[in-house]
Each structure stands twice: as structure tokens, then as C-alpha cells.
Structure 1
Amino acid sequence: MVKIALDPTPYHHDATLLELPEIAARLGYEYLQLTPHVDFSPFYRYPKADDDLVARFKKVAADAGVGIPAILPVQRISWPEEPQREAAVRNFRRVIQLAVELGVPVINTEFSGRPDHQEDSEAAFYRSMEELLPIVEREGLRLNIDPHPDDFVEDGLEAWRVLRGLNSRAIGFVYVASHTFHYGDRATTLLPELGDRLGAVYTADTFDHRRSHGLRYISNPPGNAARIHQHLRIGDADVDWQELFGTLRAIGYLAREDALIVSNVFAEDENADDVSRFQLQRLRELIG
């Protein structure tokens, strides 16, 4: 059965780590993907949770009836400069320990390199994986990676080639719907190529930045290297949701016991409760 999980990022500014499971339950979610909260594993920094906090979090999640199918750290594991990469590996080792302590089988993350240093970033990624992948495999975890806009690899197919090169069944792909146009808008061909290595699907809408001859939305000065995308409610922009979920159904993803769909709308914090409830209902319709 497909797990639909809430990404609680819109609540991070006002809620403690221990309040997140109750928020998810109140909104109707049975699952929560734990994203970079300052009390747990902040962006690019060493994780801040100790054994006591992990135990307390496990208890409040169990009390709320909310499962934690995955955690999402973001560390500079593909950074082209060695001090930052070494720190990221150190931080990620602790993330793996936290996943094991929580009993969470999946870590979803990003490459976190630089597009202006593509070759060096790819080399850095493989160096980091030489250290981290044996630990991931030993612990029986699944590590799924998203080629995020403004990373050293943004095209979905090329990212899959990078991941496939690791030659490990512990490695999978995170398909983020709001990144689909940076991936190359290739859901109908990329998802079948991924097959059972598709590890998670994130659901938020975005505008196609390529439309109107590149003027769908404008950033100044013209020609700058900014990667702009949105995380909007399903149906508010240009993602073809029938195509996406039709493809997920065709490849058997929606029938998998480990299938994970994450709602990750970030653009409407002031309406986070209403948006989160809408997302849950709409996802149930698309899956159903």
C-alpha cells in the first residue's frame, strides 16, 4: 500500500521537533518524512539530536500513530572543495546512525554539488560514496538521491546514469515533481528506466520555466544562472499529474508495498493546514 507522507517543512519555523508528529496526525496523515529541522539534522551542519531526543521523538510519533518511513538530510556530499565534502561525510555518518536508531529504513537526499564545477562535483560524489555506501549497505538502508535544480547534475536521465554507476541495489532515485522541467520533462521515459530503483516521489506543482521562449517567469539580470522553481499545490501550475500518476501506475510503483509519496508544498506557509489537507485528498484521488 502506498504511504502518503507529509513533509513538515512549512511548520519548522514555529514547531519543535517533538510537535511534528501530532501536527501530521491532526492533518490526517499517517506518515511523516523527517526533513532538516534545526533540532534534528539541519542543512549542511552536524546533526543535533542525541539518544534522549531520538527516544522522545520515537515515543511522540508512536503516541500520535504516525510512522516515519524516511528521513531527508541535505549535506554537501558532492562539494568540489574538500573541507566541505569531508565535513558532509562526517555529518552523514551521524545521519545514518540516527536513521538506524529511529528504525527508519530509507534516507532521501540530494547530490548537493555545484553546476559550475560539474566534473569536480561528480568526482567528489563518488569519493563520498566510497566512504558512505558500505555503511548504508551494512545497515540495510536504502539511499535515494534527487538531482536538485542548481546541482552538478540536473537532467533526470544523466542523474540516473551517475547513480547507476555506483552499482549498488541500496541506491535509488527520488523523483520530485516540482523539479520535472529541470529533469527534462521526461516522466514517461525516465520512470520506466528507473524501474524498481525509484525510491520516492515528491508531489508539489511548478511552472515550466521553458515556456514563452524562456519568459514564463523572469529573474534579473537577464541570463543569470539562477534556477527558479516552485513547490505549489497540485493543480496550480504546469505539471501533468495524470501523466505522472498514469506512468507510476503503469510501471507498478503504486502497487509496491514500499511506495512512498511525499507532499512537499513550501510556497503557502500561511495556509499550510488547508494546503496539507488538500494535498492528502488530491493524492488519494490520484492514487485511487
Structure 2
Amino acid sequence: MSEFNSTFDVELKLLLEGVYLTYQHDFRHYAIASLRRRIRQAMTQFECNTVSELQSRVLHEPEVFAQMLQFFTVQVSEMFRDPAYFKSLREQVMPVLKTYPSLKIWVAGCSTGEEVWSLAILLAEEGMLDNTLIYATDINPVALKKAENGIYDLSRIAGFSSNYQQAGGTRSLSDYYTTGYDGALFDRALRRRMVFADHSLATDSVFSEAHFVSCRNVLIYFDPVLQDRAVGLFADSLVHRGFLGLGAKESLRFSKHAARFADFAASEKIYQRL
């Protein structure tokens, strides 16, 4: 983690150590600037004047720690986010993956599941879903439950639909959900090929052998040490010539594991395991 140079930072370091020792969740190598901002938001939420006050509540009240996961982790996603990425998956990656008799896909840091459902739709349209298992993992149980439910606010659907069409969708997104109570419930036929599980990129080992790992807009919240750990897990998980997809602002350029990958669709941050 970056150098701690204020009382706030010292207390923040103690909070992160306490969380690790008490709950075995390791946020000590998350990007410090982002952590500062989110911990200040949590202090406002829990009416704490100092990080030490917040630490006392987190360590002594497990229900407060459960709520704190909303601040430690960033839950921002949308379906077919960065449509060009999904178009590259459809046009360049899927033809290669079709050559395997069965597939395992790992969505690491799946948040509330928008990417998981997007991939399931893409696989269904490419005739590949029945032969695929999608493992979706996150450390936030509330986010995982939302992901598993596959229910999203109707106010977001127009944006999802626009992304879907730009990503090369072959139907209407409305074919995949039903509406009611101001929500869109996505097709349970897509859900049957998904497995949701708790997994930490900071502390856990390889989750499963995979042909494709998608971990998008997660590494930007890690410091270089944790980024390297995560990329190492992905490399160890992937089969020979398997694929890794990262977020638009992420790169393997400075990773110690960069030599284990080759650019595949460089502009869309898709890499292939050597």
C-alpha cells in the first residue's frame, strides 16, 4: 500500500489490519486513494468522527462489517458494458472457444452480475451456452445475491438494450427478460449454466480451470502487488491458449506476469495465455 503520511492514513491502516485479522478479508493492498474516499463515505454513513471510531464498530459489530463491504468494494456495472469488448468476444474469441467440446468461464469480481448475464446471452446466441459453465465470484454476499437473482431496475434497461445492440446482439434484449414491479427479471434458462460463489482475489487460490477469464474494472482498485497476485491467479487458471479480458483502463503492461500472455484484441484488452 502507498506510504501512510497522516493520522487518517495510520488509522486506516489499523482498520484494514483489524478487518483482515477478524474477518479474513484482505483490503490492505487496495488502491489507497480510492480507499480513503470510500472510508470517508462510510464514516458519514455510520456517523463516526474518526476512522478509529469506525474501526471499533466494524470489529465489534459483525453486522456493521457486512454493511462495510458496500464501501470496501465498488459495485458499478451494466450489461454489455463497453460494447466493443463484447463485439470482439463475439467475433474473435467465441470462434476459437467453439472448438472446445465444453467450456468453463470465470467472471472474477462479478459484482451484481450484469456481465454474467450478458455473457450468458452472448453464449446462447452463439449456440454455446449448453456446453458452458459460467463461474461468477465476488467477496460481497449482497452483490452475489443480486447477481444470482438477475433482476435489474427498469430505468436501466434502455441503456442495457443500447449496449446490447452495439455489441452485435442478434435479437431484442427484451426477448431475455420479463417485467414486473419496476424490475426486469432475466430468463431462468440463462441462470441454469451459472454457478455463484464467494472468492477473494486477495486471499484465495485458483478457483477453477477456465478457458476464459473476465475480470473487468476490478484491478484498477488494487495496488500493484495485488494486481500481480490476481493476474497470476488468472494465468494459473487458464488453459493453454485460453483468454483473459480486462477493463478498458486496465493493462498487463507492467505486470510481472505479462510474459505469460500475448495480445489478442489489444484495443479491447483481451489477451491470450501462452
TM-score scaled to structure 1, two decimals? 0.27
Larger radius of gyration: 2
Compare the two structures and name the one with the higher strand fraction.
Answer: 2
